[in-house]
Amino acid sequence: MKRVFIKDLVVKGEETVLLKGWVHKIRDLSHVSFILLRDKSGIIQLVCTKEQIKGLRLENSIEVTGIVRANEKAPKGLEIEVSTIEMTGKVYYDKLPFEVQSFKEKASLETQLDFRTISLRIPKKKAIFKVQNEIEDAFRKFFKGNDFEEIHTPKITHSGTEGGSEMFTVNYFNRRAFLSQSPQFWKQMMVGAGFERVFEVGYAYRAELHNTWRHLNEYVSLDVEMGFIKDETDLMDMEENFIRYLYKHLKETCSDELKLFNVELPEEISIPRIPLAKAQEILLTEYNKKSPVGNIDNEGEALFHKYVKEKYNSDYVFLTEYPTAKRPMYAMEREEDPEMTKSFDLIFKGVEITTGGQRIHDYEMLKAKMERLGLKLEDFAFYLDTFKYGMPPHGGFAIGLERITMQILNLGNIREASLFPRDMKRLTP
Ligand code: AMO
């Protein structure tokens, strides 16, 4: 008999079905017993005899045969009149580390992460990754639909891309190598290699000493790079259209999951674009909030979200025109003011989820910039050489997958949006 997923169950007369899953809940009444059976697709009520549930415990895995019956009192209006139950996976615990069926957030996040195979069984925790999966799917579909190709770039590298020293070292056959901070150089090189438009879904590694609710040391970066652009506004247009597409996709594919998190996605999206200096000025005049030079801190981002929500009714805002001194060497400077770049951040509900911008594409200009910053040209020759062979104007951006998931679902901690998070303290599971 072929196994049926719970989501596909329908009443079919006296036909017997085969279900497989885990014991989610046991209710043993005087005359009858009920089990809630959970599989990857949902939960269904099993109507059993006392004999059939003997020896079963929560989270045993079982195989069940029975007949689907309509019962308007049962969850989703269906239940199974059980013929046989076979235990296929024993349990070996005195007490579950926390309840799966009636999880009340009493276990700390650290305990949930320690017992990840149990916490991911909690339907609401699992729902996070259904939404994350659909974000990835929407990302691939949208960019493929706009003539981008998916690429994979090396995660073991010999130099950093983003400046700074936040890199993990790797012993690479007795040479020092690093885990990649970003596909930055390689995605640009792929534009130069004639692919013009590329995207990547891949891990990025940051050895930054930030053990905060919004930093991971290993995160999934949704990277985009696009050739023959007019300027950075082409990139912001592309990202804004992606967000519109994403919301439509999530409404179609994740309505149950969004409901679990009480999230209602807006119908319309229009993202204001505000120069960083202007945003800093607004923070000062509206909230008496001072900002660090060339940036906005966490508190400023949250306050600015409040301002943008009230003034533009938007959860998103592009901050534009970041200073050259605060951006990596590849950022294109503005013609009218070389102290400023053609780069931007996208802030979503007060958290940065994207950095992007137009890049320098002229060989001499890039070489001069690297020399000015004191970078050793020979270390970057593999990248710089690309620019000798007709590199078109180009740019791109990267979205942090866990960050956008966290912000869509209002999770409060980025670790909730990572299956097996890596932070300063956590190297297992
Ligand atoms: P940046 O370093 O700003 O830019 O990273 C882009 C986006 O990646 C996410 N992100 C992180 N998420 C979780 N934990 C971290 N430690 C972390 N660091 C970054 C954020 C951030 O906005 N090469 C450029 C992108 C480009 O210009 O194309 C870059 O990597 O969501």
What is the rounded average pLDDT of the residues 199-213? 94
397 pocket-lining for ligand 1 (C-beta < 6 Å): yes
Q: What pLDDT does 308 receive? A: 98
Paired tokens of 73: 């009192």
Q: What pLDDT does 89 receive? A: 98
398 pocket-lining for ligand 1 (C-beta < 6 Å): yes
Burial letters 384-423, b for 16+ CB under 10 A, else e: bebbeeebebbbbbbbbbbbbbbbbbebeebbbbbeebbb
What average pLDDT is seen over the chain?
96
Q: What pLDDT does 296 receive? A: 95
User: Which has the minimum average pLDDT: 70-74, 121-125, 284-288?
Assistant: 70-74
CB atoms within 10 A of CB 42: 17
Question: What's 6-89's CATH class?
Answer: mainly beta
Using the mean position of ligand 1's atoms as its centre, give its distance from the Cα of residue 163 in Å.
Answer: 13
Nearest-10 crossing angle of helices 123-145, 232-253: 130
Domain boundaries, the chain: 6-89, 123-417
For residue 37, list its beta bridge partners.
23, 44
Helix (H) or strand (E) holding 30: none
Q: What pLDDT does 118 receive? A: 96
pLDDT in tens, 45-59: 999 999 999 999 999
**pLDDT at residue 371 greater than cutoff 80:** yes
Question: Do 36 and 21 touch, CB atoms closer than 8 A?
Answer: no
pLDDT in tens, 277-325: 999 999 999 999 999 999 999 999 999 999 999 999 999 999 999 999 9
359 pocket-lining for ligand 1 (C-beta < 6 Å): no
CATH of domain 123-417: 3.30.930.10
- State what percent of residues in the chain have pLDDT above 70: 100
Q: Which residue has the tokens 């995660």?
A: 155
What is the rounded average pLDDT of the residues 387-402? 98
Using the mean position of ligand 1's atoms as its centre, give its distance from the Cα of residue 96 in Å.
Answer: 37
What is the rounded average pLDDT of the residues 19-40? 96
Instruction: Record the pTM.
Output: 0.97
Question: Do 45 and 79 touch, CB atoms closer than 8 A?
Answer: yes
What is the rounded average pLDDT of the residues 181-209? 97
**pLDDT at residue 165 greater than cutoff 70:** no
Q: What pLDDT does 131 receive? A: 98
353 pocket-lining for ligand 1 (C-beta < 6 Å): yes
**pLDDT at residue 166 greater than cutoff 90:** no
What is the rounded average pLDDT of the residues 209-236? 96
415 pocket-lining for ligand 1 (C-beta < 6 Å): no
Written as one string, the DSSP assignment of 377-424 is GGGGHHHHGGGGS-PPSEEEEEEEHHHHHHHHHT-S-GGGG-SS---S
Using the mean position of ligand 1's atoms as its centre, give its distance from the Cα of residue 93 in Å.
Answer: 41
Alpha helices, H only, 33-122: 50-53, 109-114, 116-119
**pLDDT at residue 210 greater than cutoff 90:** no
Question: Do 282 and 171 touch, CB atoms closer than 8 A?
Answer: no
